Amino acid sequence: MNPTISMIMFSSLATGTIITMTSYHWLLAWIGLEINTLSIIPIISTTHHPRSTEAATKYFLTQAAASALILFSSMVNAWETGTWDITQLSSMPSHVLLTAALAMKLGLVPMHFWLPEVLPGSTLMTALIITTWQKLAPMTLIYLTINSLSTTILLLMGLTST
């Protein structure tokens, strides 16, 4: 990959993570997650191999579905509470949807179907980025909403993932 393009992709990856980590508005957090997803896709498919194209497609589809669930969860919460603040998560359907979406983004056990299929199609450095850097933004959302989410379910998913 061209060094300039590589620098742009990695800087947009960092920018998306920073936007999500510093936001207190659901729409801004969602935009940061989408920037993250869209910046990792060219990095996954740098090797021109059908396996990497398949991995990039699977990664995009699952992450887009998880982002849509996060957006829907925030819309349900905004409808019931009247605010788009991340720390004001109060409705039960939005708790369940957000937990499922963040579990899918993180690759936790009930929603981990995409991770073993994406990692073999990517290079070692890309797999390292997917399994570490790409988890920072969803973990920040869990940290911001930990008072509202079920810690028992999160601990159960984390333990079964290990």
pLDDT digits (tens, 9 = 90+) for 107-119: 999 899 999 999 9
Q: How far is CA 68 from CA 14, 32, 50, 105, 156, in A?
A: 21, 13, 27, 11, 24
pLDDT digits (tens, 9 = 90+) for 17-64: 999 999 999 999 999 999 999 999 999 998 888 899 999 999 999 999
| Global confidence as pTM | 0.92
Which pLDDT belongs to residue 91? 85
Which pLDDT belongs to residue 141? 95
Which pLDDT belongs to residue 116? 93
Instruction: Count other Cβ atoms within 10 Å, centred on residue 53.
Output: 14
Given a contact cutoff of 8 angstroms between Cβ atoms, the answer to whether 40 and 13 are in contact is yes
